[in-house]
Structure 1
Amino acid sequence: MKLRVSGTQTTKQKFSSTLRGWLPILQANLDNLMETLEPFVQENPFITVTSGSEVVEKKFEKKNFFQEASKTSVSGTIEALTLDKKSLFQTLHEQINPPLFPTEKSQRIAYEIIENINAEGYFEADALHEIAQKLHVKSEEVEKIQQRFAYLEPLGVGALDLKETFLFQLQELSLEETLYENVEKLILNFESIESFNKEPLFHESLSVIKHFRNPPAIDFMEETKEVIPDIFIYPVDEGIEVRLNDAYYPEVMIDTEGLDENHSFVSQKIKEAKDLVDALEMRKATLYKIGLMIIEYQYDFFFGKAIKPMKLKDLADDLGRNPSTISRAIAGKYLSCSRGIIPLKQFFATALEEDISNSAIKEYMLELVKYENKIKPLSDLKLLECIETKFNIKMVRRTITKYRQQFNIASSSERKKLYTLTY
Structure 2
Amino acid sequence: MGALRQTQGVETKHKLSNTLRNWLPILHSSLSDLGEAMTPFVEANPVIEVKSGFEEDFEKKIPRKIISRGVSNSRTEQIEALTIQSRTLYDVLDEQIGAPLFPTPVSQRVALYVIENLDEYGYYDGNTEEFCQKNSIDRETFEKIRLRFLHVEPVGIGAKNLAESFLFQLDNSEISDQAYSLAVKIINDMQNIHAYSKEECFNEVMHVLSTFKNPPNIEYQEDSAQIIPDLMIYFNDEQQIEVKLNDAYYPVINIDTSYGVEHEFVRQKIKEAKSLVDALDMRKATLYKVGLMIVEYQYEFFTGGQIMPLTLKTLADEFGHNPSTISRAIANKYIACDRGVLAMKEFFTTAIDEDVSNAAIKEFLIGLIKNESHEKPLSDMKLLALIEEKFKVKMVRRTIAKYRKQLNIAGSSERKKLYKLGV
Give the match's secondary structure for 1:422: coil
- d(CA) in 2 for partners of 1:418, 1:226: 38
Written as runs of structure 1 = structure 2, the 5 A alignment for 1:169-180 is none
Give the CA deviation at 1:219.
9.3
1:239 maps to which residue? Answer: 240
Which one of 193, 205, 218 corresponds to residue 143 of structure 1?
Answer: 205
2:408 maps to which residue? Answer: 408
2:96 maps to which residue? Answer: none
2:94 maps to which residue? Answer: none
Give the CA deviation at 1:139.
7.7
Q: Deviation digits for residues 7-38 of structure 1, max 9, x if unmatched? A: 4x423537311101111110101111111111
TM-score normalised by the chain length of structure 2? 0.62
TM-score normalised by the chain length of structure 1? 0.62
Give the CA deviation at 1:324.
2.6
1:351 maps to which residue? Answer: 351
C-alpha RMSD over aligned residues: 3.3
2:54 maps to which residue? Answer: 53
Written as runs of structure 1 = structure 2, the 5 A alignment for 1:278-317 is 278-317=278-317
Give the match's secondary structure for 2:352: strand
Written as runs of structure 1 = structure 2, the 5 A alignment for 1:254-403 is 254-257=255-258, 259-403=259-403
Give the CA deviation at 1:420.
2.8
Give the CA deviation at 1:313.
1.9
| Range with bigger deviation, 285-294 or 220-229 | 220-229
Task: Confirm or deny: 8 A CA contact 1:52 1:250 kept in the other structure.
Answer: yes
- d(CA) in 2 for partners of 1:219, 1:40: 27
Identity %: 53
- d(CA) in 1 for partners of 2:404, 2:392: 20
- d(CA) in 2 for partners of 1:233, 1:298: 12
Give the CA deviation at 1:320.
3.2
Q: Deviation digits for residues 71-98 of structure 1, max 9, x if unmatched? A: xxxxxxxxxxxxx999xxxx99xxxxxx
Task: Confirm or deny: 8 A CA contact 1:289 1:319 kept in the other structure.
Answer: no
Give the match's secondary structure for 1:363: helix
Task: Confirm or deny: 8 A CA contact 1:49 1:252 kept in the other structure.
Answer: yes
Give the CA deviation at 1:224.
6.2
Does residue 38 in structure 1 map to residue 42 in structure 2? Answer: no
Question: Which letter maps to 1:34?
Answer: G
Q: Deviation digits for residues 362-389 of structure 1, max 9, x if unmatched? A: 1111222233333332221121121111
Q: Deviation digits for residues 29-68 of structure 1, max 9, x if unmatched? A: 11111111111111111112222125799xxxxxxxxxxx
Task: Confirm or deny: 8 A CA contact 2:32 2:226 kept in the other structure.
Answer: no
Choose between structure 1 and 2 for higher RCO, CA contacts under 8 A separated by at least 6 residues: 2
Give the CA deviation at 1:120.
4.7
- d(CA) in 2 for partners of 1:377, 1:153: 36
Give the CA deviation at 1:404.
1.0
Task: Confirm or deny: 8 A CA contact 1:12 1:281 kept in the other structure.
Answer: no
Give the CA deviation at 1:353.
1.2
Give the CA deviation at 1:272.
0.6
- d(CA) in 2 for partners of 1:399, 1:265: 60
- d(CA) in 1 for partners of 2:23, 2:201: 31
Give the match's secondary structure for 2:276: helix
1:64 maps to which residue? Answer: none
- d(CA) in 1 for partners of 2:208, 2:397: 23
Question: Which letter maps to 2:206?
Answer: K
Give the match's secondary structure for 2:206: helix
Does residue 17 in structure 1 map to residue 65 in structure 2? Answer: no
- d(CA) in 2 for partners of 1:17, 1:54: 31
Give the CA deviation at 1:328.
1.3
1:125 maps to which residue? Answer: 173
- d(CA) in 2 for partners of 1:223, 1:142: 33
- d(CA) in 1 for partners of 2:351, 2:175: 12
Task: Confirm or deny: 8 A CA contact 1:120 1:221 kept in the other structure.
Answer: no
| Range with bigger deviation, 262-271 or 375-384 | 375-384
Give the CA deviation at 1:254.
1.3
Q: Which runs of 5+ in 2 are unaligned?
A: 59-86, 90-119, 122-152, 157-168, 177-199
Number of matched residues?
Answer: 295
Question: Which letter maps to 2:410?
Answer: A
Q: Deviation digits for residues 336-356 of structure 1, max 9, x if unmatched? A: 222222221222211111111
- d(CA) in 2 for partners of 1:46, 1:33: 19
